[in-house]
Amino acid sequence: MKSDCTQNTTCQERKKDPIEMLHSGQLVKVCAPMVRYSKLAFRTLVRKYSCDLCYTPMIVAADFVRSIKARDSEFTTNQGDCPLIVQFAANDARLLSDAARIVCPYANGIDINCGCPQRWAMAEGYGACLINKPELVQDMVKQVRNQVENPRFSVSIKIRIHDDLTRTVDLCRKAEATGVSWITVHGRTVEERHQPVHYEAIKIIKENMSIPVIANGDIRSLKEAENVWHITGTDGVMVARGLLANPAMFAGYEETPLKCISDWVDIALELGTPYVCFHQHLMYMMEKITSRQEKRVFNALSSTSAVLDYLTDHYGI
């Protein structure tokens, strides 16, 4: 785990309590946990463009607790990286609470991934299979609550929905009764990938909860975010791929502005982002503003210096 925060450091933004934000009545704009992508450099970028709350990529709690190497590679933060939620994949309450205790000084809360539909995660007992294990989810929330002394440290869950929505509402009610801070709902079932998002289902879940709910799924612009917020009656919206394609989306830009690309270059170089990640983010950001031929050339570049030369020659960056 790498941090320039000491245990007693509270950056100004850490004082922006996500729970208070989600009770404010204002749209809370959230960057989703994205494996490989929602790391420190990208979180730093989206915060410059009106993102209110960021999640780390999903981290396997067992590895995080047992391996210093895993901690150093999976979780990097700094003083400006807040408010921040660390998302864990877990199926063991003790290991999750140990992981939560480790990150507690550096984050505003943890989130339990109950929504990842990937086969490897389900096979390990992580992710979306947890929506069928409400008692285990309750136990994990309780253990974290018991082990972390800070009463403002949030414990949230991110879920998918069941075919039978009454089961999802039951899961959410049980989680709420155990003290979960908020629930993020991706409005698809475990089997669904690119089918339309069930925003009506998210609305029904919200109507049955007294804690905040965040809507997630297929939001590609600020206008869409505001629309989903109004349709569902939720307290915030979480975006993944929409932000990858346009990190300035929450600031109202329809496509990635050149200033945002320039900011990414500065941030990524300053934080020592590995080349593959640096280049991949640029490929996503430039998708809409480059021709097929330009993509072919840019995507084939194989070094930071080649990318910088390309951006200078073509965009004056």
Question: Catalytic annotation on 82?
Answer: no
| Torsion angle of C-alpha atoms 118, 124, 129, 132, degrees rounded to 10 | 180
Cα separation, 264 vs 273, whole angstroms? 10
Per DSSP, helices labelled H in the chain are: 18-22, 40-48, 61-66, 68-74, 93-103, 119-123, 134-147, 165-178, 199-207, 222-232, 241-245, 258-270, 275-285, 292-299, 304-315
Per DSSP, helices labelled H in 129-221 are: 134-147, 165-178, 199-207
Q: Are strands 28-31 and 53-55 parallel, antiparallel or unpaired?
A: parallel
Given 116, 129, 172, 260, which residue is catalytic?
A: 116
Long-range interactions of 19-24: CB distance < 8 A, separation 24+: 19/152, 19/154, 19/181, 19/182, 19/212, 21/52, 21/53, 21/83, 21/236, 22/182, 22/212, 22/214, 22/235, 22/236, 23/212, 23/235
Quick one: which of 234, 258, 225, 212 has its CA closest to 29? 225
Active site residues: 116
